[in-house]
Chain A
Amino acid sequence: MIRFIGRRFLNILLSLFVLATLTFFLMKAVPGNPFLDEKTPKAARDALMAFYGLDKALWKQYLIYLGNLLQGDLGISYKTPGQTVTQIISQSFLYSLKLGAVAIVVSVIVGVSLGMVSAMYNRKLIDKIAVVISILGISIPNFVVASVTQFYIGAELRWLPVAGLDGPLSYILPTFALSALPIAFIARLTRSSMLEVLTADYIRTAKAKGLSPIRITLRHGLRNAILPVVTYLGPMTANIITGSVVVEKIYNVPGLGQFFTNSVTNRDYPLIMGITLFYAVILMFARFLADIGYAMVDPRMKKSTKGG
């Protein structure tokens, strides 16, 4: 188990290094530099270039960048003067984190219950409704869900706040837009693996022992059917985080996603690099944790990692 964790951890570090190198050189490959402006006098431009260390040789800049990165210093934003990238990220990520965490919890709870109910009532009306819901959830893009619910439920009916993130009510619409797809996916995963598990011999034994149906589905069925859902947790986190980029734009949440799209349109290179690396770290750790979770839930995995 420890060897498994160690290997995965090493992989993450390697990937981050590759990504940092890739982003660095891709950014430098773009023609021009951020201070190329007709109006700026040459002397001032040179001073700026020297200030940001852009006058040095490329390999020197790269080494300096990596050195700073190791110390957690992501540089200074070009377009929001006076703020370091780290400051921007730590301020805005709080919003994204709150929204994302709520969306993840909601997706898992609703998705698993939907899938379970639909497996228990296999081929009955409830199951058919659940299947239709999950197919729709997979096919309707989150930005369409977000703008339509914002208009009808927020602006027309005035039931819920239209934008921003203050107060628990304002979480409902963005969370719905973010979790629609993961809910649908988790429901499908749970349903199909639950159907498979429910035909297993130990379920028959449990029934023969006279356990109540609810106890059988929860204790014997769900525990085994949940495995595919656990593996999906990593990709789901990625999904919700990338989804939050667009949902934050629509609901005007001052989160990290907003800053990311703005930094791309503004060509604010240090900010782009910083946020890219930050996202990558989060996504990789989410996948890492999901893998560990999987190893802990799946007894077969435990055995093979112990032996090897």
Chain B
Amino acid sequence: MDNVNEKRRPLPDPRKFVPLKKRDFAQQQMAPSYTTWKLATMKLTANKFAMGAGIVLALMIIMAVIYPLFTPHNFRGQSLLNTFTAPGGSYYFGTDDLGRDLFSRSWKGAQISLTVGILAAIADVILGIIIGGIMGFFGGKVDEVLNKITEILYSIPYLLIVILLGVVLGQGMFTLIIALVATGWINMAWIVRGQIMQLKNQEYVLAAQAMGSGGFRILFKHLIPNTMGPIIVTMTLTVPSAIFAEAFLSFLGLGVQSPAASWGVMINDSLASWQLYPWTLLFPAGMLCVAMLAFNIFGDGLRDAFDPKTRVE
């Protein structure tokens, strides 16, 4: 790389005094320095795919909350005169085998899926930060013991825990969230631990210690705010896997149960009828795919944004 530069601009003759010109100064100027957050925001807004996905997600979340404003029907109401109505009229997405409005059911499903995904991700973050932070910051014996425990817990497949808890606690949304968190926080804890271990030898920690700050204050006030980047990235990528787990289990009949609407339940309900009435599968499955796609693309975009190796173009 250096060779290329030298070829372009020959070294001045050492025997002759040549004062530096203004453009030489300009060339030596460093690139402007930004904070991590500023840089990440710049990279993210420059990424059109990720921004598009973000907008789709925002719209989806808003619609999941305000959908009742757009339809006279509710997600539970059955109308046996109107079974399998094709999309149109006041049934925008058509109706299912019991004459339930698929538009409101799909958005109710969005509500449930997004709640499961987002709550599970938030709980993961909280648990992960606390335990990962303690592991990374105190190190030594504490770290060793906690590390062993997390390693053992991690090797237990999450699906088994979800199913077991479902048997014990009864199947439903909150069992699902608890089970997803029971295994999901470990990954987060390891990420936080690694970050804290890198950061804890930095000068500002020493400075804080010199000012007399205690361990927990340093951990929560100085170290954890600096690890937020990777935490947010992991969180966005946890959401689609939680949404998928919800749909998967509800589809098997092990998650949310039928009168409630969730995408997995609706896809399962449609299995007998979608060959003749395709809209019963199309809308819930389509929305599930769009949500997963948008979360995955947005999460990837965030990862690139926080990755120091990528540049703003």
Contact = CB atoms under 8 A, between A and B. Distances in A.
Q: Do A and B bind each other?
A: yes
A144 B285 contact: yes
Nearest to A31: B168
B157 A27 contact: no
Nearest to B290: A139
Interface in A251-289: 260-261, 264-265, 267, 272, 276, 279-280, 283-284, 287
Contacts of A33: none
7 contacts: A15-B153, A26-B168, A139-B296, A147-B274, A261-B252, A267-B167, A287-B155
A276 B251 contact: no
A15 B296 contact: no
Interface in B133-173: 151-153, 155-157, 159-160, 163-168
A19 interface: yes
B165 to A, nearest CB: 7
A264 B163 contact: yes
Interface in B250-268: 251-254, 267
Contacts of B165: 26
A138 B296 contact: yes
B54 to A, nearest CB: 16
B247 interface: yes
B267 A144 contact: yes
Nearest to B297: A135
Contact of A238 (B157, B254, B292): B157
B293 interface: yes
A226 B160 CA distance: 30
Contacts of A18: 152-153, 156
A138 B291 CA distance: 12
B244 A15 contact: no
Give the contact-size bracket for chain B: 20 to 34
A27 B252 contact: no
A26 B252 contact: no
Interface of A: 11-12, 14-15, 18-19, 22-23, 26-27, 29-30, 135-136, 138-141, 143-144, 147-148, 151, 155, 238, 242, 245-246, 249, 260-261, 264-265, 267, 272, 276, 279-280, 283-284, 287
A7 B106 CA distance: 49
Interface string B277-313: 0000100010011001100110000000000000000
A191 to B, nearest CB: 13
A147 B271 CA distance: 8
B160 A276 contact: yes
Interface string B229-247: 0000000000010001001
Contact of B168 (A30, A238, A276, A284): A30
A147 B275 CA distance: 10
B248 interface: yes
Given A141-B285, A141-B292, A280-B157, 8 more contacts: A29-B168, A139-B289, A141-B248, A141-B288, A144-B288, A147-B267, A283-B155, A287-B155
Contacts of B168: 26-27, 29-30
A301 B285 CA distance: 43
A210 B78 CA distance: 72
Contacts of B254: 261, 264-265
Contacts of B252: 245-246, 249, 261
A242 B163 CA distance: 12
Given A11-B155, A12-B155, A246-B252, A26 B267 contact: no
Contact of A280 (B160, B247, B248): B160
Interface in B63-98: none
Nearest to A196: B309
A71 to B, nearest CB: 23
Nearest to B165: A26
Contact of B157 (A29, A148, A151, A242): A242
Contact of B152 (A14, A238, A260): A14
Contacts of B167: 26-27, 30, 264, 267, 272
A19 B292 CA distance: 31
Contacts of A272: 163-164, 167
Nearest to B254: A264
Contacts of A238: 157
Interface string B156-195: 1101100111111000000000000000000000000000
A119 to B, nearest CB: 17
Contacts of A264: 163, 166-167, 254
A14 B151 CA distance: 10
A198 B153 CA distance: 38
Given A138-B292, A139-B296, A276 B271 contact: no
A174 B239 CA distance: 27
A15 B160 contact: no
B183 to A, nearest CB: 12
Contacts of A260: 163
A12 B152 CA distance: 8
Contacts of B155: 11-12, 15, 280, 283-284, 287
Q: For the complex of A and B, list the 5 residue pairs with the smallest distance between their C-beta atoms, beginning with the closest.
A: A139-B293, A15-B155, A139-B292, A15-B152, A144-B285
Best-buried of B155, B240, B244, B288 by chain A (most CB within 10 Å): B155
B251 A23 contact: no
Contacts of B160: 19, 276, 279-280
A260 B274 CA distance: 26
A22 B288 CA distance: 33
A261 B167 CA distance: 11
B270 to A, nearest CB: 9
A15 B247 contact: no
B275 A23 contact: no
